[in-house]
Amino acid sequence: MNKNHLVIHRARGTFDLDALFQHATAEVLFRDEFGNAQRVALAGENVETETEDGRVTLRRRVAPIEIAWHAILDAMPRVWLEITNRGDAPIRLDELRVLALDATRDARVHLAAPASAWRFYQNGWQTASAAFVRRAGNGVHTELSTELYRVKHQPHSLPHSPKTLGSEMFSVIATPAQSLLLGFITATDQLSEIRLQLNDGAFHCLAAICYADGQRVEPGQTIVSEQLLIASDRDPLALLDRYAARVGQGMRARVPRASPTCWCSWYYFFGEDNERDVIANLERIRAERLPLDVIVIDDGYQTSDGDWTSVNVEKFPRGMKWLADEIKRAGFTPGIWLAPFAVNEHSHLLREHPEFLLRDETGAPIFSWAHWNDKCYSLDLTRADVQEWLRATFRVLSAEWGFEFFKLDFLYTGAARGAWHDPAATRARAIRRGLEIIREVVGEKTILGCLAPLGQCVGIVDAMRIGPDASVNWEPFFAGDPTAPATAHAIRNTVARAFLHRQWWINDPDCVLVRRRDDESNLVLNEMRAMVSAIGLSGGVVLSGDNLPSLRRGRQKYLKQILPPTNQPARALDLFANERAQIFALPVKTDWGAWLVAGIMNWDDKTRVTEIALEQLGLDPDRAYHVYNFWHRRYVGIAREKIKLARHQPHETRVLLFKPVSDRVELLTTTFHLAQGMCEVKNVTREDNARRSVLRVELEKSGVQRGQVLFALARDWKLIATRVDGRKSPHQRAGAGIIAVGLKLDERAVVEIEITNTP
């Protein structure tokens, strides 16, 4: 795209962009010195135009402000606003609408389909907020109207009419023929939103908004919006990938080499754990040689929220430094949980420093979350004394106690609406500064963000929760809340936000819970497997939330089958076709072969027949593929053109491997890991001559695990022998031309198959 694709209507002060928009403009909402709300649009008279080397500026002055709209017109245009106070008195800046299209002013969006048929990617504000693609005209998604839901998930006021869809920071609007991405690629100064409004199913308006939160702007001062990226493509998934890469590069995302593996105390003990429970789980991890590197002590060690360095000595009598040292002596990384931007109403910190609280215009403290029956309030992160308290707290946790992994929860509380001590602050600047202070203190140690606004964390956190809490229930206890703890909700977000993995951080899909129903779980087998499948295919953090001493070996195997993490994210191939994506696919390519592992999900409450065309999976419909059902441990057969899943049970995720049929002996799959060869197979070599072929598979995986290695034989080749570690081993015929070799894998093994074409 170049400058010839921007058409400026000088008489109207509007512009068209690359046949996507017609009569677009920009707007500013502010309050003057007397508190009167004003709206100034770029559209109007006396608009000045400047062009130079692919950059265009439209400028208009309407007292007391001057608007300057800038565009860089390269392959993916970037636009932003600058607002200068040209008056003699301060103003309060509320919104910078970097792009605004209103049908009542003849603005149009051209996407080759009526607005009621558009698919709208909705990115919720923080990690637990709902993320998915909804039907713009008749989507099923609803949101609550309670105060707590508004505080946690709705940072911007939405008009009740006409129908409004909002997406934090970015969105893709998709049709079968064309898709449009609008996404802010910076996030340090303002929260931002893409807002679409329909009126009786027809397009009403579209806006890309930066929220200045009433920021005080002095005479002569200039405020700059975040930069908005505009792109179009037929493939909406490609747009999400390109956008995530652009943000990650521009904001210097921290992406560790490998996804962390952890054990966390919360999801079994819920704050009732003690020193003995942590040590017991640590010992079980060592005994089983489970590759879980980080031991996270979650909520419950502290005497109150805010008093993070005051330890509950009844549960942890030897203190947190002793426990961190014990974890390190055992060869693991000690991790700790805290919610650093909020304070409990009963805390010592609040009694000693009530001035630390963020308050509204009337002086009332800002409620942020309820911890069991206690109210917690937001801290004012723009205060110098709060910032120094934050530094001192993390010096103790990091330098004195020795923790090296920090799970920071309820971070949205640092971006609450309120009257900040610094009148020039915004919610984005406040939380970003709080996070920067923590990073400065802990250095290169690992930070995992939870319940956090996404954009403001890029470049600071190493890993990020991307969905609601995992749960021992499939649906939430109370229906109607799309953000409540529930396995179905966690999977929905894991799939919808998969493209952020290794672009902004390491994705954390939350805990994997594999315990039985008689051990504090309500999940049936299919639901537990669906959770394991989504987490394993995501490639992100694997965080065990079970009490490992009480976990039966028949269930422990499910945890082992997603360790270590693949690091590579699967893709939600039908994300823009279904409000809950059904196909989560991981393409694998190695030196010894290429295959696809696909999770096919049944979200329904009843058994159904599912048919998937190979083309939907990105496979060549003209080729033949071996298909293996991982959870059922069954060779399905050879698929051409499509695959049919009979009796696809409620809430079941079928994990299927697709590997091209070959004219020679091939490694088909292994059952030691969900990715079926990607993580545990270290090398495959072969010795071939005219009449004899030997295929050798080298396996390596931490711990002890029983499973199979399966081979596919070409036509007319016959089996001579199978061997494990050089010794002949029994085998099974798992299907026509399919040989399965069973073994106990204890760290390493070599499996061989020898075949001949001699009659």
Q: List, for residues 52-72, the tens digit of each pLDDT value.
A: 888 999 999 999 999 999 999
For 604-671, the DSSP string reads: SSS-EEEEEEGGGGT--TTSEEEEEETTTTEEEEEEESEEEEEEE-TT-EEEEEEEE--SS-EEEEES
Question: Cα(167)–Cα(131) distance, rounded to whole angstroms?
Answer: 9
pLDDT, average across residues 427-449? 98
For 485-540, the DSSP string reads: S-HHHHHHHHHHTGGGBTTTBEEE---B----TTTT----HHHHHHHHHHHHHH-S
pLDDT at 749 over 70: yes
What is the band of 200 on the pLDDT scale with cuts at 50, 70, 90?
confident
Q: By mean pLDDT, which of 42-46, 439-443, 531-535, 644-648 is the weakest?
A: 42-46
Tell me which of 94, 273, 380, 409 is the catalytic residue. 409
Question: Cα(184)–Cα(192) distance, rounded to whole angstroms?
Answer: 7
Question: Cα(569)–Cα(588) distance, rounded to whole angstroms?
Answer: 10
pLDDT at 667 over 70: yes
pLDDT at 337 over 60: yes
With pLDDT > 90 as the criterion, what percentage of the chain qualifies? 88
Mean pLDDT of the chain: 95
Please give the sequence-ordered ranges of beta strands (E in DSSP) within 200-247, or none if there are none: 202-217, 222-224, 228-233
pLDDT at 689 over 90: no
Can you name the residues that pair with 356 across neighbouring β-strands?
none
Count of alpha carbons within 13 Å of 488, Cβ hemisphere only?
A: 22
Question: Cα(110)–Cα(492) distance, rounded to whole angstroms?
Answer: 30
Residue 638, Cβ neighbours under 10 Å: how many? 14
Can you name the residues that pair with 756 across neighbouring β-strands?
692, 718
Which one has a higher pLDDT value, 142 or 268?
268
Which one has a higher pLDDT value, 626 or 9?
626
pLDDT at 757 over 60: yes
pLDDT of residue 237: 97
pLDDT at 599 over 80: yes
pLDDT of residue 1: 34
Reply yes or no on whether 409 is catalytic.
yes
pLDDT at 3 over 60: no
The candidate with the shortest Cα–Cα distance to 411, out of 63, 155, 697, 675, is 155
Tell me which of 469, 508, 510, 574 is the catalytic residue. 469
Question: Cα(543)–Cα(333) distance, rounded to whole angstroms?
Answer: 13
The candidate with the shortest Cα–Cα distance to 4, out of 390, 466, 15, is 15
pLDDT at 123 over 60: yes
Contact 648, 654 (CB under 8 A): yes
- Match 């360095």 to its residue by tokens: 309
Q: List, for residues 450-495, the tens digit of each pLDDT value.
A: 999 999 999 999 999 999 999 999 999 878 889 999 999 999 999 9
Question: Cα(386)–Cα(113) distance, rounded to whole angstroms?
Answer: 52
Q: What is the pTM of this model?
A: 0.96
Question: Phi/psi of residue 278, each to 5°?
Answer: -65, -45
pLDDT of residue 715: 82
pLDDT of residue 146: 84
pLDDT of residue 4: 44
3-state secondary structure of 254: coil
pLDDT of residue 142: 67
pLDDT at 342 over 50: yes
**Cα distance between the two ends of the chain:** 64
pLDDT of residue 315: 98
pLDDT of residue 139: 60
All structural domains of the chain, each given as residue ranges with its CATH number in brackets, are 3-250 (2.70.98), 261-567 (3.20.20.70), 665-759 (2.60.40.3260)
* Amino acid letter for position 535: I
Rounded CA Rg of the chain: 28
Q: By mean pLDDT, which of 2-6, 379-383, 477-481, 634-638 is the weakest?
A: 2-6
pLDDT at 161 over 70: no
pLDDT at 297 over 60: yes
pLDDT of residue 6: 82
